[in-house]
Each structure stands twice: as structure tokens, then as C-alpha cells.
Structure 1
């Protein structure tokens, strides 16, 4: 999870919306991420095992989803005037998941839960770390909206293109890691 790194994508997706809509999107995205990460911390191994899904499949799916969003940002379709319904959708996908609670964060959470090995102190430390990261995420997204006054509409357009390029690179890396995971297993 990269709190400052999510700011460009966040602003490119919600930068032209009203301030209350941006704040709502920030809150919803972080709550969705917290819910997803918490769910996988509690029962991630069981969920993946039951569905016969490995981490490489999760990475591949997340990479493909991010690539679609990146292409929208690069082609300018995501910067068109959004409708009210999109506020919730953008907060859920791609912000809440797979950007904030992506395959890497989910896999790391599952690994750290495995390492805790039934020690209550380790579980408490992991829970505190998850909450702390999400608090920092929310603060970064919440106060990033102040940048809009500085960068204006043309800056948001430029940020959308840069964020699209970076998001595409992250997506390709997730897909490459997925392929390596399938080949290695």
C-alpha cells in the first residue's frame, strides 16, 4: 500500500467532482480497502483455498482490472463529466480495490497472518498496523484535494495521463508477477 502514491490516481478520478463528493470518495475508498484487507486477514487463506485460487491468479485479475482503468485514464474517457452514480463506483473500484487493497496488500496480509502463528500479540500488532496504514491512506486522500486549487483543471488532466501511465505500469508488473507465479508453481 502506497498512501502518497495513490494521490495522483485519486485526483485524476475524482478531481473534477465537488468537494463533498471527493471527501465521500476518499472515505468510501479507505473503508472498502479496510474491509477487504480485514476480510483477508481473518479468512484469506480459507477463501482462496475454498475457491482454489492462488495468489498468482489474484495478481493477474488485479493487473487486468488496473490495466482497464489505466487505459481509461490514458484515453481520456475517465476525465469525462461523471454522473452521480460513479461516485460510489470509483470509490469501490478502482480506488478501494484493487488500488488500495490490491493483490500485493492482500498477499502480504495473508503472509503476515501465517507468520503470527497463533500469538495474540502478533495478531494485535498486525491489526494495529492495518488500522494505521488506513488512517494514513485516509489522511493522504482527504487532504490531497487541496492540491486541486494549485494544479487547476489542466493539472488534473496532466495528472490523469501520468497516473494512467503509472497505473498501466503497475498493472503490467502485476500481470508479469502472476505469470512468474504460475510458471514457478
Structure 2
């Protein structure tokens, strides 16, 4: 079995990505962004966001360092950009600004901000790139690939089955969840930017 799958690497990669991507923590944000949309639209947004995240994570796992090197982009710069984008979405949730593109009902929120940078954000991208460097044989590749797939399945399950909650809490509950999600998302965004600034100061950018 060890020739086909490195269970230690699988566990390490899965736990790391699970903590960073935080399937449970995405639920209030998902409920906030899908409020006012039909049940079918919300379900479609769930799997589309997971698909977008999976494609982005996989692309960076294989070609991430080459892409960044070609564009002369450092990892802290990518992290800061993701943090600023999340901060814009967080401010929109906190203020209830329905005039922004991400708040409009006809906008596909599965791409931005759900798919990226919320799920496939700088933290998840960097972690996946680091684990891809540890792939030296088929067992390593299977472990990392399976970890990425399992985490995305967990994310889909969390978002998919959060929809009954949306029906229970109704409009007033959605408003409360939206404000809480905006606060959490703004904290995540500020932390991303702060980490990027520290990396720049340390000379890693």
C-alpha cells in the first residue's frame, strides 16, 4: 500500500488544506452571498465554486512557481492582492452595499469571491505548491492529489447542506449572518495583508 499511497503525506496535506480552506467557516459567507437567489442557483454556485477552486489549486500545484516567475510576482504580492480583494467583499457584506457587482443577483459569485480568492486563496495555493515540491514518486503524487480532492469534497458538502439553514433563519437571520460573515472575512483579509507586509519587510517579497 505504501508504494501506492503515502498515508503520512496524505494526512498532513489534508489537515493543512482543511484548516486553511476551512469548509465550515465558508458556510456563513456562502449563505450571505447566495441569499436572495433561488435554491437551484445556490446549489449550482456551490459546485461551481468548488470546481473553480479545484482547477486553480491544481493549476498552481503543477505550474504555480513557473507562472509566478514568468510574471515576476512574489508569493507575498499574491497574498496581499488576495487579501485586498477579500477586504472589498467583506466591506460590501458589512455595509449591505447592493450596488457592487458581487452583490447583484445576476452575478456569478461562484467564480469571485467564492471560488477564488476565498477557497483557492493565497494560503491554499502556497500550501499546495509546497506539498507539490515533496512529490517524488507515484505514492507522493497520489497522497497530495487525494488530499486536494477530499478537501474539496468537504467544502462542497458544507456549502450544499448549508441551504436548509438558509430557509430556517429567514431574512432577519440572513442579515445577521451577512454581518458576521463580513466581519470574519475582513479579519481574514487583514491577516493576509499583514502576513504579506511582514514577508516584504523580512525581504521575502
Shorter-chain TM-score range: over 0.9
User: 2:82 — aligned with what?
Assistant: 62
SS in 1 for 2:72: coil
Mapped pair 1:92 → 2:79: no
User: 1:161 — aligned with what?
Assistant: 179
User: 2:52 — aligned with what?
Assistant: 32
Alignment TM-score, normalising by the size of structure 2: 0.85
> What's the CA shift for 1:78?
4.5
Distance in 2 (alpha carbons) for counterparts of 1:149 and 1:52: 46
SS in 2 for 1:4: coil
For 1:97-176, what aligned pairs fall within 5 Å after superposition? 97-116=116-135, 118-176=136-194
Alignment TM-score, normalising by the size of structure 1: 0.94
Distance in 2 (alpha carbons) for counterparts of 1:134 and 1:160: 23
1:20 to 24, 33, 40: 40
User: 1:11 — aligned with what?
Assistant: 31
User: 1:83 — aligned with what?
Assistant: 105
> What's the CA shift for 1:38?
0.5
Asked whether the equivalents of residues 53 and 119 of structure 2 are also in contact (C-alpha less than 8 Å), the reply is yes
Mapped pair 1:72 → 2:99: no
> What's the CA shift for 1:82?
3.1
Question: Root-mean-square deviation (CA), in Å?
Answer: 1.4
> What's the CA shift for 1:123?
1.1
> What's the CA shift for 1:15?
2.1
Consecutive unaligned residues of structure 1, counting only runs of 5 or more, are none
SS in 2 for 1:3: coil
